[in-house]
Amino acid sequence: MASVRLENLRKEFGTVVAVKELNLHFPDGKFAAILGPSGCGKTTTMNMIAGLETPTRGSIYFDDRRMNDVPPGKRDVGFVFQNYAIFTHMTIAENIGFGLKIRGVDETTIRREVGKIAELLELTDMLNVNAGRLSVNDMQKVALGRSMIVKPRIFLLDEPFSNLDAAFRAFMRGELKRIQREIGQTMIYVTHDQVEAMSMADLIAVMDFGVLQQFGSPDEIYNQPVNTFVANFIGSPNMNFVACSFRSEDGKGYLVQKRGSARIAIDERRRQLLEHHSGNQDLIWGIRPEHMTLHAEPISSDCIQAVVRFLEPLGPKTVVHLRLGEEHIKVIAPPSYREAAGVVQWIQINPQYLHVFDAKTGVVIR
Amino acid sequence: MGGNVAVPVIQDERIGETGRVRRRRFLDMSDVRIFSTSLTAPAQFVLLFIIMFPLLAEVYISLTSWTPTRGGDWTQAYRFWDWGRNYVEVFRDIAFWQALGRTFLIAGVAVALEFLLGLGIAFLFLEEFPGKRIFYTLMLVPMMIVPAVAGYVFWLFFQSNGPLNAIISLLIGQPFTLTWLANDVTAMIAVIVAEVWEWTPLMFLIMLSGLVGLPEDQMRAATMLGATAWQKFRYLVLPILKPIIIIAVVIRGMEAVKIFDMVYLMTQGGPAQATETISIYMYKVAFQQVRWSFAAAAAMTILVIMTIIASYALRPLQTPQREIG
Amino acid sequence: MQKTPTWQRVVRYALVIIVVGMFTFPTYWMVTMAFKPKVEWSTAHGTIYWVPKNPTLENFDTVLTEYRGQFFRANQSSALPSIRSSIIVSIGGTLFALLIGTLAAYGLSRFSVDTGDLPWYVALGRLALLILVLLPFMVLWAWLGIIRYWYGILTFTILGIAADQLIGRLLGRIYRGPTGSLAFSILQLRMFPPMAIVIPVMIMWSAFKLIDTWYGLVAVYGVVTFPFVVWLMKSFFDEIPRELDEAAIVDGASNWGAFLKVVLPLAKGGLASTALFVFILNWSDFLIALLLTTRDWPTIPVFLNSLVSSEIGAQHGPKAALGLLAVIPPVVFGILIQRYLVRGLTFGAIKR
């Protein structure tokens, strides 16, 4: 077990900068996710931690030991590849036992250890099956087991669930979490699926274009996004963004929609903050669809008016698409919601969840 | 088009083979059947005409003691009918068995060396280096050189005043004048060197394509588990390449057994019989000793032996492992 | 990936240069020899010439130009006839092999059902039975004296096919195991040393006066190389989805129409590569031409082998010059079809 610390880590491929001055600290025993869209540098970061790629600059520390010059096989890192990289010419038992075999461990010990792992992963009945014809679900388990058997200090998983079918993915999320608790090792995994990151990780690092955007607990990431990228990337359906400018009337602050007439009153703290913000004519307010409610009549003076475009019933909830001025927004409504297109609705915003961003930089103002 | 579309799929019949097992009515002349038969018919006719007919003639002659120098036309060979005496003689002929053994020795040593060299050189070509394209093409050239020309070039190469001795002289600093092709053992070495030179490039090509096609993630997974280069080779590369290696070795072995051109041009099978392969042996019997009927019997014996070996050796080629490569 | 240390890369580069140098040296020696004047041919004068000191085209002149009174071989005083012979015979043999091989390949690709491998004792047993049945007829034909003529051969061949079919049927009654495939028997054919086949072919050819003719050689080349065509073209046809033929047939094309107008045009790249490949094989042959030609149609390798002049002794320079000329077409074609060399030489077993 070990913590992982990255200091000013940078990786260039020719002229392309894949990872830019990355500083991260994954504490010991935590389950951490690196989240981002494809091409954001998350896999490169993972490969650098594993030692499969050499950083252009910067350092990697496990606990307090600098690992840059330690070859991958000596870093004591378990790596589960995106396509699992199962040794197709071996049986499941041989796959799982491979790490011990190359360490020269004797046959009986290998068999005993493989048996333990197989039990943990519920693979006991399949040990002698040829790994060449496994389902992806089983490959996933074998890949995990193969890394686990050598008891690495750190576990790295590259998009561990992206190839699984939906049902098994949900199941494995729970399983992986359970396994992580049981073995208590530091686990870092890469994913582009925010649901996966939110549901499993203790800590999430969101990356885009090789730059770390935000690092924090799922709760922080969800409720206090630092910029529009993070706010947009987390949550499904994603956050509504409306371009607006700040206006101050009679000592009260308002956000006035640019491409429409919606006007939102803001509290005193925010007003003061925005009053002194130099770009306060060029702002974006954002709010998640689940933080608004729809009403037939204005239930308060804060309500804004919108017109229903169409409904997207999802079973437990219905996503209502509305037109707000010239912009489109989404609101989560109860499944019983059945208004037709064209109907005027009043939206009540929960101001607690309102985020205001600088439109130029995308950075949150709070 | 009615309901009678001739879709060319046939499940329960064997088509296109000269009289193999067939379960069908005697005259089942559907469109597809006529079509498929007419596709393979020319090949079968030619095979029968140019292989079957001479083969029969060979058997016919092998059962007589006819030679071109006696008794005129081959068709008249029945006048010299003497049953299986030639076959008995073939079995008694030590030179025949020695030639056979020598052929397998040359083929075995040459193919083993080709495989090891081919694999080794393929490893050298795995990573990028300046001028790789040119080196790669140069490496392929030997296998495209006409074997007879290669034989001549290697004859030059192994002359006592040839370039090889000159190079050795340079290296050891004193004149070196071994007559390679006049000594039993060195002549054998020379023949094997020529064969290895000509065909290592093929092995190299096959092994390189195999190595390039290795599943990269599996190799990385092994790296992460701490496998050394040797362990990766032993537990991953070799088992994964095994089907390709078997195919390559079988095919090269099969071709190496036929070796004639280079030996003929370099040593003519000599000194004495030191490099006499089975092809050279038959050539000598037929054209220098003019013992046609004996040569025919020897050829038939070879055919039988080769058929038996082929049916076992070629088995790996039949199993559907073709996707690997 | 992790960077390879510099010293490793240097060592590898050095190794590459040494190995490639070793494999290139014999070719280099031949090429330079072709341009060396006579004094530089050997070390007889005490020095060895690593590079030609006074490069000359004299050797090419010697092999390519006819000089009165200087005979290399029989009635030929230049290599030109052998070059012509090589070109005609190789192209002819290639076309012949392509014609019968492509048809058979398509048949095998689309209609063949492989039923596993044929045990050798069944294959040999069948052959033995066939020989047993046909041999008396051959003797009879010979005794009648008609086997020397085309109608004798034709009747005998028809008899042979009939006997072959009959034995196949009979065997099918007794033996119900795997029966192999035509594709496989063709492959097995490649296993025989050509010497074992060529001796009787030579007898037959001399009976038909086909020895030392271009068409006699073309026929043998065609038969010897058509297994390669079958296996190569089969691998190319297998890559073309069967649904295409079916679509063409559903659209109203005949079986032949689907083959000639849909499948063959799609496989033309493969066909061209196969043609070049087979051309290289034919061009490279020595043994068959050695046995089946004498005066008029020796190919380059045969001519090369006999290139000794009574007047000037061993002809290293001219030989190397001719060797260089002989090597150029296969090397050029070989580099052109690099991608298919492995596939060709492994009978389509390894596709790369």
Residues 6+ apart with CB under 8 A from B168: B176, B178
Q: Which residue has the tokens 């960077």?
A: C3
- Does the distance separating the beta carbons of A81 and B225 come in below 8 Å? no
Let me know whether A24 and A97 are in one domain.
yes
- Does the distance separating the beta carbons of B308 and C120 come in below 8 Å? yes
Cβ of residue B214 closer than 8 Å to a chain A Cβ: no
If residue B89 lies in a helix (H) or strand (E), which one and from where to where?
helix B85-92
Task: Give the span between the Cα atoms of A138 and A171, in whole angstroms.
Answer: 13
Give the pLDDT mean for A12-35. 88
Number of residues written out for chain A: 366
Q: Is residue B227 part of a domain?
A: yes
Let me know whether A33 and A151 are in one domain.
yes
- Does the distance separating the beta carbons of C3 and A71 come in below 8 Å? no
How many other CB atoms are found less than 10 A from the CB of residue B8?
18
Strand order in the sheet with A318-324: A292-295, A344-349, A304-313, A318-324, A327-333
Cβ of residue B254 closer than 8 Å to a chain C Cβ: yes
Q: Is residue A173 part of a domain?
A: yes
Task: Give the span between the Cα atoms of B157 and B166, in whole angstroms.
Answer: 10
Q: Is residue B28 part of a domain?
A: no
What is the model's pLDDT at position A332?
Answer: 92
Domain range holding B230?
96-254+262-267+298-318
Evaluate whether A32 touches A187 at the Cβ level (below 8 Å): yes
Digit-coded pLDDT (tens) for A178-233: 888 887 888 898 988 888 888 888 899 999 888 889 999 999 999 889 989 999 88
What is the model's pLDDT at position C75?
Answer: 55
Question: What own/partner pairs with CB < 8 Å and gap ≥ 24 does B64-72 have?
Answer: B64/B293, B65/B293, B66/B292, B66/B293, B67/B290, B67/B291, B67/B292, B67/B293, B68/B290, B68/B292, B69/B290
Task: For residue C229, give the 3-state DSSP assignment.
Answer: helix
Domain range holding A320?
240-358
Cβ of residue C150 closer than 8 Å to a chain B Cβ: no
Let me know whether A221 and A266 are in one domain.
no
Cβ of residue B228 closer than 8 Å to a chain A Cβ: yes
Query: Could you tell me the CATH number of the domain that includes residue A228?
Result: 3.40.50.300
Omega before B271 cis (within 30°)? yes
Let me know whether A140 and A12 are in one domain.
yes
- Does the distance separating the beta carbons of C249 and B7 come in below 8 Å? yes
What is the model's pLDDT at position A321?
Answer: 93
- Please tell me the least confidently modeled range out of A317-326, C54-63, C179-188: C179-188
- Does the distance separating the beta carbons of C346 and B251 come in below 8 Å? yes
> What's the per-residue H, E or C state across chain A?
CCCEEEEEEEEEECCEEEEEEEEEEECCCCEEEEECCCCCCHHHHHHHHHCCCCCCEEEEEECCEECCCCCHHHCCEEEECCCCCCCCCCEHHHHHHHHHHCCCCCHHHHHHHHHHHHHHHCCHHHCCCEHHHCCHHHHHHHHHHHHHCCCCCEEEEECCCCCCCHHHHHHHHHHHHHHHHHHCCEEEEEECCHHHHHHHCCEEEEEECCEEEEEECHHHHHHCCCEHHHHHHCCCCCCEEEEEEEEEECCEEEEEECCCCCEEEECHHHHHHHHCCCCCCCEEEEECHHHEEEECCCCCCCCEEEEEEEEEECCCCEEEEEEECCEEEEEEECCCCCCCCCCEEEEEECHHHCEEEECCCCEECC
How many other CB atoms are found less than 10 A from the CB of residue C30?
24
Distance to chain B for A86, nearest Cα, Å: 6
Let me know whether A76 and A214 are in one domain.
yes
In DSSP notation, C51-86 reads S-SS--SHHHHHHHS--TT--SBTTBSSSHHHHHHH
Domain total in chain A: 2
Let me know whether A67 and A109 are in one domain.
yes
Let me know whether A44 and A121 are in one domain.
yes
Task: For residue B67, give the 3-state DSSP assignment.
Answer: strand
Which backbone phi and psi does B35 adopt, to 5 degrees? Answer: -60, -50
Give the pLDDT mean for C173-184. 59
Domain total in chain B: 1
Q: Is residue B209 part of a domain?
A: yes
Q: Is residue A365 part of a domain?
A: no
Digit-coded pLDDT (tens) for C65-94: 766 555 555 556 677 888 888 999 999 999
Query: Could you tell me the CATH number of the domain that includes residue A284?
Result: 2.40.50.140
Structure tokens at B197: 């030179």
Distance to chain B for A62, nearest Cα, Å: 16
- Does the distance separating the beta carbons of B144 and C330 come in below 8 Å? yes
Q: Is residue B66 part of a domain?
A: no
- Does the distance separating the beta carbons of B39 and C181 come in below 8 Å? no
Q: Which of B7, B114, B144 to mutate to test the interface with C (most CBs of C within 10 A)?
A: B144
**Sign of dihedral through CA atoms B159, B162, B164, B166?**
positive
What is the model's pLDDT at position C72?
Answer: 54
Cβ contacts from A onto B, under 8 A: 63
Judged by phi (left if over 0) then psi (alpha if -120 to 50, else beta), residue B162 lies in beta
Let me know whether A212 and A317 are in one domain.
no
Digit-coded pLDDT (tens) for A166-181: 888 888 888 888 888 8
Digit-coded pLDDT (tens) for A229-284: 999 888 888 899 998 988 888 888 888 888 888 888 888 888 888 888 888 888 89
Q: Is residue A366 part of a domain?
A: no
The separation between CA C142 and the C-alpha centre of its own chain, rounded to angstroms, equals 32
- Please tell me the least confidently modeled range out of A116-120, A220-224, C51-55: C51-55
Residues of A whose CB is below 8 A from B220: 52, 79, 81, 85
Nearest CB to B223: which of A72, A84, A101? A72
Indicate the pLDDT class of residue C314, thresholds 50, 70 and 90: low
Structure tokens at A245: 């400018």
Task: Give the span between the Cα atoms of A283 and C178, in whole angstroms.
Answer: 79
Let me know whether A245 and A229 are in one domain.
no
Indicate the pLDDT class of residue C203, thresholds 50, 70 and 90: confident
Last residue of a domain, one of A233, A260, A290: A233
Number of residues written out for chain C: 352
Nearest CB to A52: which of B220, B236, B239? B220
- Please tell me the least confidently modeled range out of A254-263, C110-119, C238-247: C110-119
Indicate the pLDDT class of residue C322, thresholds 50, 70 and 90: confident
What is the model's pLDDT at position C66?
Answer: 65
**Sign of dihedral through CA atoms B306, B307, B309, B311?**
positive
Nearest CB to C280: which of B144, B258, B315? B144
- Does the distance separating the beta carbons of A73 and B217 come in below 8 Å? no
C314: nearest Cα among B159, B168, B198: B159
Last residue of a domain, one of A233, A260, A275: A233
Query: Could you tell me the CATH number of the domain that includes residue B205?
Result: 1.10.3720.10
C173 vs C57 pLDDT, higher one = C57
- Does the distance separating the beta carbons of A52 and C1 come in below 8 Å? yes
Let me know whether A18 and A94 are in one domain.
yes
| pLDDT higher than threshold 80 for residue C275 | yes
Nearest CB to B225: which of A52, A88, A102? A102
Residues of A whose CB is below 8 A from C3: 54
Consecutive 10-residue averages of pLDDT for chain B (325 residues): 32 39 48 77 75 78 80 71 85 90 93 95 88 90 90 86 81 80 88 93 91 88 87 90 87 87 85 87 86 87 82 65 37
Q: Is residue B275 part of a domain?
A: no
Q: Is residue A344 part of a domain?
A: yes
Q: Is residue B13 part of a domain?
A: no
What is the model's pLDDT at position A265?
Answer: 85
- Please tell me the least confidently modeled range out of A127-131, B8-12, C200-204: B8-12
Let me know whether A263 and A228 are in one domain.
no
| pLDDT higher than threshold 70 for residue C141 | yes
What is the model's pLDDT at position B325?
Answer: 33
Q: Is residue B179 part of a domain?
A: yes
Let me know whether A82 and A204 are in one domain.
yes
What is the model's pLDDT at position C188?
Answer: 63
Q: Is residue B123 part of a domain?
A: yes
Question: What own/partner pairs with CB < 8 Å and gap ≥ 24 does C129-133 have?
Answer: C129/C167, C129/C171, C130/B52, C130/C160, C130/C163, C130/C164, C130/C167, C131/B55, C131/B56, C131/B59, C133/C163, C133/C167
Omega before A152 cis (within 30°)? no
Last residue of a domain, one of A233, A268, A294: A233
- The reported pTM is 0.81
Q: Is residue A364 part of a domain?
A: no
